[in-house]
């Protein structure tokens, strides 16, 4: 018997609906829900162990997977099953995790796993916009402690009108692509890319999405009520001791405040804070430490956060001595690495990124093969964050989710400034060499300069800045160019990138509840001032893209040829194109335009001489003589019935000059008129309808001899 199901419907206001269902699938999970929009269906489950973890942090795992069967496809590769998550899946995990994690109790230490799976795909629905809704709905159906229901929604703008959860085709026409995460009363997360929009327009888009999210939150609460809201489970909240807390506060607060006010470097400040911590620990006996050391350190961290925040709110002074809107010293350098196609160093305070650019053909494009999206990226950016950049040593076990997320943000910031006629596939690699505050924004700046150094004709240079906010409800301090410590202790950290004319990408995590939109706009405008300051430093180093690529970098020429000549250029078994690449030292890639069905030939080479030879070969292969035109040719072969001639303007393109077209007089022996290597002019008559072969003539360019009266009489009699 099919079990009873409980359902809720969310009306998007344009004829589309989102349906929530529970009670049918995955009933052993602590909470499960199916979210459906069109034919797209996601199953989300949540399980939280009833056994407390021994870890000193909240062990939450958010997992999102797209099943190939959902789109009626097989996984690519040798093993025909899903394996490690794609970058797209990891990015969806991150946007869900960032909203959920702060809403669990700060002292909750139980292993918790949220699993979201795309089970059915719809071409007109982008499932990542539904993942946050699914996760929150599943938690609402469980007994897991959670502060408030949330949801996430994508917002686009097509022809000036905002669209909620647009399709991929609509996004192609949209100048905004943002995902917003929020509860009913607070925006908590924003991530996306834009086409140089203003700060006010960005705030309007967030507000639009928030209104729809409120309806999605209400639907979750109705579903949980109909299903039967479970009592929130009890858990061990951890030990508290007011006496210890007071003792730590009295011993440490003023010392931390004074150190924070000293404007020290990261290392000096860290050593000073550690010394105070040791002094605090020394106030307790060995027995007290054995029982409460972890609690004492927790209270110390709390005091440290309180003191630093108060310093900024009360005096407008930051950890390194800067004012709230002050940017750290910046220095930049381009063309640092001699062998790469483009390079740049960007250093801001104690954060440094070294970016390299590599140029290639469409063969080097990044292939995207997901159940929901297939395609290629001809511009992509990879971000590396090695342990030494923060003075640490730990094992490197593959690319982290953080590295994927930060690299994607920088890629989205820059990709809109790549011109449409750029012939290259462009790969940027950012190596973070030092980090104390927003290496992703340093990556954007270094990436901009490296592309300009490589000769990529960027539409406009892009810069980025990381911002922070400290608020106690009445007082607000917006911080420009935040440090790593300020990121940790603040109420909002957000990264904004853009040109001089508008925002191109953003990433926000907002921790303060009910942040007024006026404060958000103020923070964005302060970010704009910082961005423009940084942009000025970049353009002082390199004001515009180099005129051409470097001498050792490959030059690329793109040529379109009629579809019918592709085979001739490739040759049997690829023989022609392989020999051409070998002899010219070039790389040749041929693709077919799906619209015009033309062949798109990409020629990549470091030497212009080799490229010119390939172009000459293409001209030869695609050469089409015009009827009635005269061409210079060279004799390449002598036969009994004529000569084979080669068009001088199209080497390799040959045609037969028949013996009857050599001269007006009868020719007995071809060799009496022409020999190998002779150069002459011929007239092209098109395809002979009788022989079905091209016809050229030499005699047509010669004056026809006058006939004698006797000869004419003989001709008439005959």
Torsion angle of C-alpha atoms 436, 336, 495, 348, degrees rounded to 10: 40
Cβ-based neighbour number of residue 137 at 10 Å: 30
Q: Which residue from 644, 633, 648 is spatially nearest to 670, judged by alpha carbons?
A: 644
Which residue is it, tokens 């002050």?
Answer: 326
- Rounded to a whole number, what is the largest CA-CA distance in the chain? 139
Tell me if 165 sits within 8 A of 126, measured CB to CB: yes
Per residue, the 3-state secondary structure of 228-284, as one string, reads: CCCCCCCCCCCCCCHHHHHHHHHHHHHHHHHHHHCCCCHHHHHHHHHHHHHHHHCCC
Burial class (CB in 10 A: 0-12, 13-18, 19+), 234: exposed
Number of H helices, E strands in the chain: 15, 29
Q: Within 12-167, where are the H helices?
A: 87-100, 128-140
Q: Which residue from 87, 176, 99 is spatially nearest to 135, judged by alpha carbons?
A: 99
Q: Give the separation between CA 281 and CA 297, rounded to whole angstroms.
A: 8
Tell me if 549 sits within 8 A of 570, measured CB to CB: no
Q: Give the separation between CA 312 and CA 483, rounded to whole angstroms.
A: 13
Tell me if 348 sits within 8 A of 534, measured CB to CB: yes
User: Using N-to-C axis directions, what is the helix angle for 286-315 and 266-281, rounded to 10°?
Assistant: 140
Q: Give the separation between CA 187 and CA 494, rounded to whole angstroms.
A: 13
Tell me if 312 sits within 8 A of 479, measured CB to CB: yes
Q: Give the separation between CA 381 and CA 456, rounded to whole angstroms.
A: 15
Q: Which residue from 124, 141, 125 is spatially nearest to 42, judged by alpha carbons?
A: 125
What count of Cα atoms within 13 Å lies in the side-chain half-sphere of residue 516? Answer: 8
672 assigned ligand-binding residue: no
Which residue is it, tokens 């220095």?
Answer: 331
487 assigned ligand-binding residue: yes
Burial class (CB in 10 A: 0-12, 13-18, 19+), 50: exposed
Exposure class string for 501-525: b at 16+ Cβ within 10 A, else e: ebbbbbbbbbebeebeeeebbebbe
Q: Give the separation between CA 180 and CA 189, rounded to whole angstroms.
A: 6
Q: Which residue from 332, 359, 329 is spatially nearest to 344, judged by alpha carbons?
A: 332
Q: Give the separation between CA 583 and CA 578, rounded to whole angstroms.
A: 9
Length of the chain: 718
Q: Which residue from 196, 281, 204, 198 is spatially nearest to 244, judged by alpha carbons?
A: 281
The pair of three-digit structure tokens given for residue 120, joined into one six-digit string: 């059915």
Residue numbers belonging to the annotated binding site for Mg(2+): 487, 493
């Amino acid at each position: 018997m099919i079990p009873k199901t409980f359902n809720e419907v969310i009306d998007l206001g344009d004829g589309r609906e989102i349906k929530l269902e529970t009670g049918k699938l995955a009933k052993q999970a602590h909470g499960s829900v199916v979210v459906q929009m069109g034919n797209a269906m996601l199953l989300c489950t949540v399980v939280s162990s009833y056994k407390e973890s021994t870890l000193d942090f909240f062990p939450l795992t958010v997992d999102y997977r797209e099943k190939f069967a959902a789109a009626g496809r097989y996984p690519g590769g040798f093993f025909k099953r899903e394996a490690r998550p794609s970058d797209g899946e990891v990015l969806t995990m991150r946007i869900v995790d960032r909203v959920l994690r702060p809403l669990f109790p700060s002292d909750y230490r139980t292993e918790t796993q949220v699993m979201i799976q795309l089970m059915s795909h719809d071409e007109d629905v982008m499932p990542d916009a539904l993942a946050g809704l699914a996760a929150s709905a599943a938690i609402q159906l469980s007994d897991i402690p959670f502060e408030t229901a949330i949801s996430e929604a994508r917002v686009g703008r097509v022809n000036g009108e905002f669209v909620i959860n647009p399709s991929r085709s609509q996004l192609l026409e949209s100048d905004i692509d943002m995902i917003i995460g929020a509860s009913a009363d607070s925006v908590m997360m924003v991530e996306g890319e834009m086409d140089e929009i203003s700060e006010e327009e960005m705030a309007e888009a967030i507000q639009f999405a928030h209104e729809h999210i409120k309806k999605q939150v209400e639907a979750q609460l109705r579903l949980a009520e109909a299903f039967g809201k479970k009592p929130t489970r009890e858990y061990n909240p951890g030990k508290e001791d007011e006496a210890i807390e007071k003792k730590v506060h009295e011993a440490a607060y003023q010392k931390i405040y004074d150190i924070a006010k000293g404007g020290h470097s990261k290392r000096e400040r860290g050593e000073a804070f550690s010394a105070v911590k040791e002094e605090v620990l020394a106030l307790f006996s060995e027995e007290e430490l054995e029982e409460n050391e972890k609690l004492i350190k927790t209270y110390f961290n709390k005091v440290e956060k309180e003191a630093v925040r108060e310093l900024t709110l009360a005096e407008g002074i930051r950890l390194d001595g800067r004012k709230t809107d002050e940017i750290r010293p910046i220095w930049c350098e381009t063309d640092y690495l001699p062998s790469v196609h483009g390079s740049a160093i960007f250093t801001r305070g104690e954060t440094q990124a070294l970016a390299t650019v590599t140029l290639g053909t469409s063969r080097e494009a990044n292939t995207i093969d997901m159940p929901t999206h297939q395609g290629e990226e001809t511009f992509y950016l990879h971000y590396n964050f090695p342990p030494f950049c923060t003075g640490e040593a730990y094992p490197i076990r593959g690319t982290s989710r953080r590295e994927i997320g930060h690299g994607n943000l920088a890629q989205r910031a820059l990709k809109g400034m790549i011109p449409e006629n750029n012939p290259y596939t462009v790969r940027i690699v950012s190596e973070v060499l030092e980090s104390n505050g927003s290496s992703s924004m340093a990556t954007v700046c270094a990436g901009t300069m490296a592309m300009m150094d490589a000769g990529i004709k960027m539409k406009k240079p892009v810069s980025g800045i990381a911002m922070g906010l400290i608020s106690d409800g009445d007082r607000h301090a917006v911080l420009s160019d935040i440090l790593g410590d300020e990121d940790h202790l603040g109420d909002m950290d957000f990264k904004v990138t853009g040109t001089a004319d508008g925002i191109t990408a953003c990433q926000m995590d907002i921790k303060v509840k009910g942040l007024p939109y006026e404060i958000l706009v103020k923070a964005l405008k302060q970010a704009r001032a910082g961005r423009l300051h940084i942009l000025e430093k970049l353009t002082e180093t390199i004001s515009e893209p180099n005129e051409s690529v470097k001498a050792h970098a490959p030059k690329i020429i793109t040529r379109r040829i009629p579809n019918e000549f592709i085979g001739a250029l490739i040759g049997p078994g690829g023989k022609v194109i392989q020999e051409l690449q070998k002899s010219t030292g070039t790389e040749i890639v041929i693709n077919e335009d799906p619209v015009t069905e033309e062949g798109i030939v990409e020629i990549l080479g470091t030497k212009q001489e080799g490229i010119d030879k390939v172009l000459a070969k293409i001209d030869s292969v695609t050469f089409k003589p015009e009827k009635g035109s005269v061409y210079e040719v060279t004799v390449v072969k002598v036969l009994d019935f004529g000569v084979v001639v080669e068009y001088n303007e199209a080497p390799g393109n040959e045609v037969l000059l028949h013996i009857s077209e050599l001269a007006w007089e009868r020719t007995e022996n071809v060799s009496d008129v022409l020999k190998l290597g002779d150069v002459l002019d011929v007239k092209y008559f098109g395809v002979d309808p009788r022989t079905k072969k091209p016809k050229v003539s030499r005699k047509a360019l010669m004056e026809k001899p006058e006939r004698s009266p006797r000869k004419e009489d003989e001709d008439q009699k005959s």
